Structure 1
Amino acid sequence: MGLLLRTERLEISPLAEADLEAFVAYRRDPDVARYQSWTPDYTQTDARSLLAAQPSTTLPVPGDWVQLALHPVGLSQGMTLIGDVAIGTDPVQPDTYELGVTLAPAHHGQDFAREALAAILEALFAAHGAHRIVMQGDARNEAVLRLLRRLGLRHEGAVLEGDWFKGEWTTLERFALLRREWQERR
């Protein structure tokens, strides 16, 4: 599977040097960083290190991740980075991936995250033969939990106060979709 996808409203491609200013800007937003693995002190150096470590044309090797940039299609919006989707390859289980999504605040509530994730689910299952795709979200992040349900991921359970995260115990909600479930939906 190549890492270039296009939907009705988005071009999805590996994060590039030209994306880093916008990428750092939304990662520095405290509301965006709240449920993410980084903190609002995210820097250009952090972003350059992430960019240098990721593959640019293929899925990551087991245990690694790739960030795919989300750019709106259309003359009025240009090629401004509006968010990203992370794809991680499970370090142990074959054909198993984890996804994560982040959008700049100005683009929340416009269905871009669902559109991007639906395209990536389709590509992973159809073009790459994924067996299982998982996602998880902080139980307090109701918007993400609604998104995962709208995408048709199955709720597998909660890890109740099982994650020490940013100085507090948090609950993670786990979701997954199997290839056969995806095929049945089609």
Structure 2
Amino acid sequence: MKIFDLPIETERLILRRVRHDDFEPLFPIHSDSDVCRYLPYEPRDEAGMREALEKRVALDRLEPGGDPLFLAVELKETGEVIGEVLLFYLNEEARQGEVGYVFSPDFQGKGYAMEATRAFMDACFKEFNLHRICARCSAANTPSWRLMEKLKMRREADFREHELFKGEWDHMYIYAILEDEWRAHFN
């Protein structure tokens, strides 16, 4: 699937394709052990972040089960990149996607994640014609599942000790929302 028209603009933010020059603002986020605590990788070193950034920049199509689309989240006022939102295209026939997000600790608690993720999910439903969007997180990651609930997603699964994650048993929540439910809440 071709990537939809960008950028996406909100009142305070611009969501756009990740660029090579985003290394400087993204590296501190992805190398922070507190941020990476709930991410599926350890804090990245410089080489690891450059490799991850290269994949983000090179992606030109979304394929079911393939690499996710990452968008940089930029403050309109300053042009500063404060985080990323992402979409995994899970299933073309069933029109399923999974969203995620990661933000700099310096910008958490200010409503930016809600604003960015809401605009991104809206575009995913409209532009990709998705039927269902899900998201998942560790049950210990309270800010993440609270965001999902603010986005009117429902908790569909509560997996206790379902797998080892970074050496410990993980307790994972899965949330989801259907397109018609989204439209009822946000249109």
Partners in 1 of 2:42 and 2:155 — Cα distance? 27
Gaps of 5+ in 2: none
Within a 5 Å distance, the mapping from 1:81-120 to structure 2 comes to 81-91=81-91, 94-120=94-120
Deviations 1:59-99 (A, max 9, x none): 5211121211010011xxx2121000111110575421111
Deviation at 1:58, TM superposition (A): 5.3
Provide the C-alpha distance between the structure 1 equivalents of 2:48 and 2:59, rounded to a whole number of angstroms.
21
Moved over 3 A (4+): 54-59, 91-94
Letter in 1 for 2:55: A
Contact 1:3 1:56 in 2 (8 A): no
Aligned-pair distance for 1:27?
1.1
Hey, what's the Cα distance between the residues in 1 that align with 2:94 and 2:166?
31
Matched, 1:133 2:133: yes
* Structure-2 separation of matches of 1:182 and 1:61: 24
The residue aligned with 1:171 is: 171
1:128 shift after superposition: 2.0
Tell whether 2:44 aligns with 1:31.
Answer: no
TM-score (norm 2): 0.90
Amino acid at match of 1:67: F
- Normalising by structure 1, report the TM-score: 0.91
Q: Which secondary structure does the structure 1 equivalent of 2:160 belong to?
A: strand
Aligned equivalents of 1:161 and 1:103: distance in 2? 26
CA distances 1:153-176 after superposition (whole Å, capped 9, x unpaired): 011021111121100111110000
| 1:14 pairs with 2:17 | yes
CA contact (8 A) 2:59 2:69 kept: no
Question: Tell me, what secondary structure is at the counterpart of 1:123?
Answer: helix
- Of 43, 46, 53, 2:45 maps to 43
Which amino acid counterpart does residue 49 of structure 1 have in structure 2?
E
In the alignment, structure 1 segments of 5+ residues that lack a partner are: none
Structure 1 residue 123 displacement after superposition: 0.5
In 1, Cα distance between equivalents of 2:16 and 2:58: 9
